[in-house]
Structures are given as C-alpha cells and as structure tokens.
Amino acid sequence: MKIAIITDKPRTKYLPTEEGLMEDKQKRKTIKNIKEVLSKRFDCIQMTFDDSIVSRLKREKVDLVFNLCNGIQGDARLSQLPAVLEYAGIPYTGSSPLGHALAYNKIYSCRLFNEAGVPTPNFIYVFRIEDVENLDINYPVLLKPKDEGSSRGIHEDSLVFNKEQLIEKLKEDLKIYSPPIMITEFIEGREFTVGVLGNDANIEVLPILEVDFSNLPEHLNNIYSFEVKVHYGDKTLYHIPARIKEETKKKIEKIAIKAYNVLEMRDYARVDIRLKDEIPYV
C-alpha cells in the first residue's frame, strides 16, 4: 500500500504571529514522527496541499491519504482537503468535510451540543466592540476565536474578570481573528483530554489524560493557554490514566463519545473536557 502524508504550506504568511510559527514547527515534528511509523510497514511519501494535489496523487498511484492538513485560510479551512479528495474519489483518513466544518467552528459545535444535551459552557458571540457595551454577564469569562485550535487565540489574558478587560481583549482579538469572537462561561475545574477512535458501533475511548496545572507559576490562570503549552510545557503535569473514580471515568467517556457522534466525527478525534461538580463539559 502506498500512503501519502499531506500537509499544508507554512501558515505564517497568513498568521504572522508566534502562534503561526509554533503551528508550523509542531506540524514539521508531527510529520516526521508519523512518517517514521508508517514507513515501517508501508510505502510512504510526503506531499504539500496545493492546486496540483489530485494530479500528483494519481501520478504517484497513492492508495490512501493520511490527512495532516489544517488548511491555510478561510472559515472552513480544515474541510478543504477532504472535500477535494472526496471529489476525486481518493480515500483519506479522518473526518469528512462536514465533520471538520462542524467541529472546527466552535459556535456551530456548541449549538449542536446544546441541542443534543452535551454539557457545554454558556456562550455568546460578538462581531463588534459595541456588542458588549450593554452586556450583562457574570465574570470571569473566556474569549476565544471561533475557528482556531491548539490554544491559538487562547492566552493568559483571554480570561477576563471585568468589563474593561473584556473590551481591551476583544479589541485585540478582532484585529487578529475573523469575527465573531466567542465569549464563554469559564468552567473552573479539572482539565482532561479524551482520544476517541473508530466508527459506528466500533468506537473506542483511549485512556483519559488529565492536564494538571498545579505545578505552574502562581501568576498563571488555570487554563491550558498558548503560553502554558509553549513556554511552560516542562511545568505541566500529565496523568495517564487520569486520577479519577471509575464512575467519573464512565461519565467522561460517555460524553466524549456523544460529542464525537454529534459532530459526525470519523476515524479519530480528540475531545477536551472540563470537569466541575462531577459534570463533564465539552
């Protein structure tokens, strides 16, 4: 079997920030690791997603694409490669264009969670500074872009404790990320990451990972911010399996699988969860 690992062009052209640089750096590391593993059993090549990708895949007689594309720009950028591959009839790993679109847009996914009874923080979204002038909300709240991942756009100052901080951070985010910006209820609790594999009736939950912030400097908030991931990785503690009761484990697994199915995920996904008062929030 011949497998093509497909990734993006560098994103720093469109996101010229430390976040863009770190995304490209992490992507290179991930490609290297996956290629090493796949090459032990398969004929494995690497390609970059561009306008000629379909013709190159057919010329190389590729049997399967291992999708490592985040996309470069646009509201549904994660869906771009899957859509092209489906049009060309080329098999690929991971979720469909629809699944990617639903999961990547936090507003859409949270609306679906609410409809399906998946616990998720209360939220609103705003397009302009004026939208929050008369806003009556309980602080603290967390600001986040609607369509980024891996903590891009979630910084230490994204957790705000009053209206002045909210307006200041919103001004900054609106300059960098495409509106609207989400403002969500902050769930003060324990953080978990849940890997889910499989499809239909054959879905498996991997051992739950707990992200422990107790060893971080006191000036940092209890969130998995971009700063924590990039600058304090050596201070962050990870517990696998998570330090939880069997009953809690089953609750988290049930919610993770439900979220996976609600968003029509396929093959694999990661579900991030906050646990407060024994309720797992996605």
- Chain centroid to CA 264: 15
Topology of the domain comprising 2-93: Rossmann fold (3.40.50)
Give pLDDT tens digits along the chain (282 positions): 999 999 988 877 776 777 777 777 888 889 999 999 999 999 999 999 999 999 999 999 999 999 999 877 777 889 999 999 999 999 999 999 999 999 999 999 999 999 999 999 999 999 999 999 888 889 999 999 998 777 788 999 999 999 999 999 999 999 988 899 999 999 999 999 999 999 999 999 999 999 999 999 988 998 999 888 888 888 899 999 999 999 999 999 999 999 999 999 999 999 999 999 999 999
CA-based nearest residue to 135, from 163, 159, 158, 161: 163
Topology of the domain comprising 104-118+188-281: D-amino Acid Aminotransferase; Chain A, domain 1 (3.30.470)
- CB atoms under 10 Å from CB of 83, counted, come to 15
CB 241 within 8 A of CB 207: yes
pLDDT recorded at residue 61: 97
- Chain centroid to CA 44: 26
104-118+188-281 and 123-185 share one CATH topology?
no
Tokens of 251: 């609750």
Pairing, β 209-212 against β 237-239: antiparallel
Q: Which residues contact 153 (CB under 8 A, 6 or more apart)?
A: 19, 144, 145, 173, 176, 177, 226
Cis-peptide, bond into residue 16, ω within 30° of zero: no
Q: Where are the domains of the chain?
A: 2-93, 104-118+188-281, 123-185
Q: What angle do CA 256, 261, 265 make, to 5 degrees?
A: 95
Topology of the domain comprising 123-185: Dna Ligase; domain 1 (3.30.1490)
Q: Which residues contact 98 (CB under 8 A, 6 or more apart)?
A: 79, 264
CB 201 within 8 A of CB 226: no
pLDDT recorded at residue 87: 96
Q: Which residues contact 27 (CB under 8 A, 6 or more apart)?
A: 7, 8, 68, 70
